[in-house]
Amino acid sequence: MLRLDKFLCEMKVGTRSQVKKELKQGFVSVNGTVVVKPEHKVDEKADTIIYKGKELHYKKYAYYMLNKPAGVVSATRDNTCTTVNDLLKDTGYEDLFPVGRLDKDTEGLLLMTNDGELAHRLLSPHKHVAKVYDVELKECLSEEAVRRLEAGVDIGEEHPTLPAKTERLPGNHILLTITEGKFHQVKRMMKAVGNETVSLRRTAMGSLKLDERLAPGEYRELSEEETNALRGGSGQTVTQHKEGGLG
């Protein structure tokens, strides 16, 4: 059972405040009876819910791409900091969670969903997926550093990192592709080759690429094509991030 306002928000009728106005105007009926109370409980699988003459069919899972800004934590709740869930509170979904984590000061692509099965599959520690980061460095990365990163470096773990793909960009930027999710991995990798991370931004995870039209803090729902690619895996898998993220 769901609150009627939550159901309507999940059906993208509008935000909570917009939905309340629609209800007050008598635009919604449940099983043939107009309902104006947002707290009215509905059976999303059995009840017939009509909005402005159109029957709404419940969609259980939601998938959002968030361009996470710096200063926001990858958590569902926090007593002191703004969380990624705070940024998506107008979706109508109260059960969204981040798939993996980014450090507080790391920006970029973060998948938000309530599909636990998909998240579990994506975050399986026995699998790997390519994650791409735009890394701004204190100094230009040397050829020797590139060679070491692409061979795997010692960051104080039992084993060196898996080989990374490194593409040097103008200035002190690189695109770094890794297939692991060790704690603070990117920053530790840069330190291991004698450099320092100035800023970090994730641009892709597996088949999902950051929509560059999204400003930091903005989000959008995934397209059906993007969702299907994630569900299908596109031949790619992902490692679980430890608490605190990859930065």
Active site amino acids: 103
CA atoms of 113 and 65, how far apart (whole Å): 9
CA atoms of 228 and 89, how far apart (whole Å): 25
Distance of CA 70 to CAs 85, 109, 113, Å?
14, 12, 20
Q: Return all residues near 54 (Cβ < 8 A) that are at least 6 apart.
A: none
Residue 20, phi then psi, degrees to nearest 5: -60, -40
- The tokens of 56 are what? 């709404």
Q: What is the DSSP letter of 42?
A: E
